Homo-oligomer: A and B are copies of this chain.
Amino acid sequence: MRRGEVLQIIDPFGRQVADVMAFDLHDHRARLSSGRTLDYAATTRLTLGHTLYSNRSQPMFTIVEDTLGRHDFLLTPCSQDTFRILYGSDEPHPSCLANLAAALAPHGISEDDIGTTFNVFMNVEIASDGSLRVLPPLSHAGERIALRAECDLLVGLTACSAEQSNDYAFKPIDWTVLKPR
Complex interface: chain B residues within 8 A of A74 (CB): 34-35, 38-39, 44, 74
Give the size category of A's interface with B: 35 or more
Provide the bound-state CA to CA distance between A15 and B39, in Å. 20
Query: Is A130 within 8 A of B76, CB to CB?
Result: no
A 54-73 binary contact with B (CB < 8 Å = 1; else 0):
01110000000000000000
Determine how many copies of this chain the complex contains: 2
Provide the bound-state CA to CA distance between A56 and B85, in Å. 12
Query: Is B126 within 8 A of A126, CB to CB?
Result: yes
A-B contact pairs, 16 of them (CB 8 A): A29-B110, A33-B116, A35-B75, A35-B76, A35-B116, A38-B132, A39-B132, A40-B85, A40-B86, A42-B131, A42-B132, A44-B130, A57-B82, A57-B85, A116-B116, A126-B130
